[in-house]
């Protein structure tokens, strides 16, 4: 799975693209901030890679079907817009670890 976000407008404007995770997913950020390992309780691991932005992990809230808020995490891709258009690419693949 992959995607691309196109941002247009003035240059130098801070941006954040957010991916909210289910509470059962643990996220681990790589040292260079371009990859996030997503760990499911089942043991499955996914790799989330970013291009054109710096990745970080922040706290979030998930509201369950019975409307109870649960703590969760989110992947945040951030940076500043460039002169013409800013492209933020992302990709998620199942890991073979």
pLDDT of res. 5: 92
Q: 49: burial class by Cβ within 10 Å (0-12, 13-18, 19+)?
A: middle
Q: Where are the alpha helices (DSSP H) in 47-88?
A: none
Query: What's this model's pTM, rounded to 2 decimal places?
Result: 0.89
Q: What is the pLDDT of residues 72-87, one digit of tens each?
A: 999 999 999 988 889 9
pLDDT of res. 97: 59
pLDDT of res. 16: 96
Strands across the sheet containing 14-20: 14-20, 69-80, 54-63
Q: What is the pLDDT of residues 13-61, one digit of tens each?
A: 999 999 999 999 999 998 877 799 999 999 999 999 999 999 999 999 9
Q: How far apart are CA 69 and CA 53, in angstroms?
A: 29
């Amino acid at each position: 799975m992959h995607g691309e976000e196109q941002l247009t407008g003035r240059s130098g404007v801070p941006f954040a693209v957010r991916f909210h995770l289910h509470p059962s997913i643990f996220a681990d950020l790589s040292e260079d901030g371009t990859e996030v390992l997503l760990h499911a309780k089942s043991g499955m691991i996914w790799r989330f890679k970013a291009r054109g932005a710096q990745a970080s992990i922040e706290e979030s809230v998930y509201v369950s079907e019975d409307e109870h808020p649960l703590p969760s995490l989110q992947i945040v891709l951030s940076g500043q817009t460039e002169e013409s258009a800013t492209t933020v690419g992302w990709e998620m693949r199942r890991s073979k670890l």
